[in-house]
Amino acid sequence: MLLWMGIFFILPLLVMLAVSFAGRGTYGGVEWTFSLTNYAQLFDPLYLRIYGRSLALALATTTLCLLLGYPLAYSIARAPVRWQGVWLLLVMIPFWTNFLVRTYAWMFILRTEGLMNQLLINLGVISQPIELLYSDWAILIGLVYGYVPFMVLPLYAAMERLDSSVVEAAWDLYATSWSVFWRVLLPLTKPGVVAGCILVFIPSLGAFITPDLLGGAKSMMVGNLIQHEYLVVRDWPLGSAISFSLMALVLLGVLAYFKTDGRLDRFEGGG
């Protein structure tokens, strides 16, 4: 286990950390001089705007995935046992197709002459095709579509373990449906919610294919910036510094959560 972690996780991280302090070779590669300039560059207002934008999009994606995923996971967990496997399989089937291919499929759906516009016109909602593709909305749709299974699976796992007699007890005690959800269901499925949110938030923060293909590459997210630094500008040290800080921030966030909220959970559980 330790060896496995060392080879596949810690070693690459250490290489990245070392590179992030190095100097840039004009033609890519690194010059092994120690400097903090890469980290100082991170606070460039231009880059701060990129982080802000990525954060907003990742938060919106996570929220939408939660809103869509929660009822879905709940109905799967409540379905007859022999059907649950089928529903879960249906949630996972899209993973068998390459993400790039699925993103291209969305381009066909959203484009001006695409399925979505035709559907809306036939339904009489709009009279002229509207611009759906190449916008922030398209990016959001693509991200939510891509990551909703990451939300559903941990939620399902939490709900499946849920003791239904607890929910029945709440009903018996005349709880309204809102308080059943808010005071019983949600606290009991919280580990699933947290796991799902983390699993959706992190990859959508680093996404770069979706913003390019569905957003028309008209603006950047952190993922695009990192890719740009590595492959176009050939500034591996800056690319490493951005990647490393991004990861450290996410890690700190998760740790902070487990330090505070995790402890409260146990307290409540004991009470």
| Rounded-to-integer distance, Cα 146 and Cα 61, Å | 10
Query: How distant, in Å, are the alpha carbons of 23, 35, 201, 211, 228 from that of 240?
Result: 11, 13, 20, 21, 12
Q: Is the dihedral of CA 236, 237, 239, 243 positive or negative?
A: positive
Cα(first)–Cα(last) distance of the chain, in Å?
36
3-state DSSP call for residue 34?
coil
Residues near 183 by Cβ (< 8 Å), separated by ≥ 6?
Answer: 170, 175
Residues 39-58 that bind another protein (CB under 8 A): 46, 49-50, 53
Q: Find the binder of another protein among 216, 247, 254, 262 (CB under 8 A).
A: 216
3-state DSSP call for residue 130?
coil
168 binds another protein (CB under 8 A): no
| Rounded-to-integer distance, Cα 170 and Cα 18, Å | 55
Nearer to another protein, 27 or 34 (CB): 27
28 binds another protein (CB under 8 A): yes
Nearer to another protein, 217 or 251 (CB): 217
- Residue 8 DSSP symbol: I
Site string for another protein, 5-24 (x = CB under 8 A): --------------------
Quote the least distance from Cβ 13 to another protein, whole Å: 17
- Residues 142 and 210 sit within 8 Å (Cβ to Cβ): yes
Site string for another protein, 140-159 (x = CB under 8 A): --------------------
Q: Find the binder of another protein among 4, 27, 96, 174 (CB under 8 A).
A: 27
Quote the least distance from Cβ 65 to another protein, whole Å: 26
Site string for another protein, 99-128 (x = CB under 8 A): --------x---xxx---------------
Element holding 31 (H helix, E strand): strand 30-31
- Phi/psi at 31 (5° precision): -110, 130
Q: Find the binder of another protein among 10, 15, 131, 164 (CB under 8 A).
A: 131
Quote the least distance from Cβ 120 to another protein, whole Å: 17
Hey, what are 51's tokens?
A: 């982080």
Site residues for another protein per CB under 8 A: 26-29, 46, 49-50, 53, 107, 111-113, 131, 133-134, 212, 216-220, 224-225, 228, 230-234
